[in-house]
Amino acid sequence: MNLFGVMDVSASALKAERVRAEVVASNMANSETTQTAEGGPYQRHHVVFQSAGGGSFGQTMAGQMLGQGGVAGFGGIGGGGVSIPNLLTGAVTDAAVVPGGVAVTGVISDASEPLRRYEPDHPDAGPDGYVAYPDINPLTEMVDLMGATRAYGMNASAVQAEKGMVTSSLDLLK
């Protein structure tokens, strides 16, 4: 791992956790949405993470020690990009593959059945008077958001610690 390798790994985790927090916010915002453009109630979404760069940690370290890793020089990123759809804006973001980092491989919909509530006066009620609501539990979403927030904070702390080490190293050269 080179001097800025920790920052590259933490940056990939920061991006992944940001996407996770956006998905949770989207789930919470749509927890009462009974009709979507596709028809039917909103479906809860989940973020799927994958270890980036392939191989085990030992293989990644051996490749870095021998100069075969995807991170070149001091912080330059090699390898191809991975497209990640942003659910909230519909934009596409390119994420570089960082050995030892994390990548968002996709956002999947939950296939659970919608919750049915008896509300005969609701405009989306069926002939039996029941309305289909998304199966979204606010407690589950808040726990997911807390996990994303804590992981984001830990990776931000790792970046700050790395910046401190780099600064100390530069001060030694004075």
Measured torsion, CA atoms of residues 83, 89, 90, 96, in degrees rounded to the nearest 10: 0
For residue 54, name the pLDDT band (cuts at 50, 70, 90): low
Tokens matching residue 107 = 């956002």
So what's the pLDDT on residue 150?
A: 97
Question: What's the number of domains the chain is made of?
Answer: 1
Residue 167's SS3 state is: helix
| Residue 172: inside a domain | no
For residue 81, name the pLDDT band (cuts at 50, 70, 90): very low
> Which domain, by its residues, includes 39?
5-166
| Residue 171: inside a domain | no
The residue behind tokens 């005969």 is 120
pTM of the prediction? 0.72
Average pLDDT score over residue span 31-49? 92
| Residue 173: inside a domain | no
Q: Within 13 Å and on the Cβ side, how many CA atoms surround 140?
A: 9
| Residue 45: inside a domain | yes
| Residue 139: inside a domain | yes
So what's the pLDDT on residue 108?
A: 93
Q: Are 87 and 22 in contact (CB under 8 A)?
A: yes
Q: What are phi and psi of 128, to 5 degrees?
A: -85, 0
| Residue 135: inside a domain | yes
| Residue 71: inside a domain | yes
| Residue 174: inside a domain | no
The residue behind tokens 């997911």 is 144
Chain-wide mean pLDDT for the chain? 80
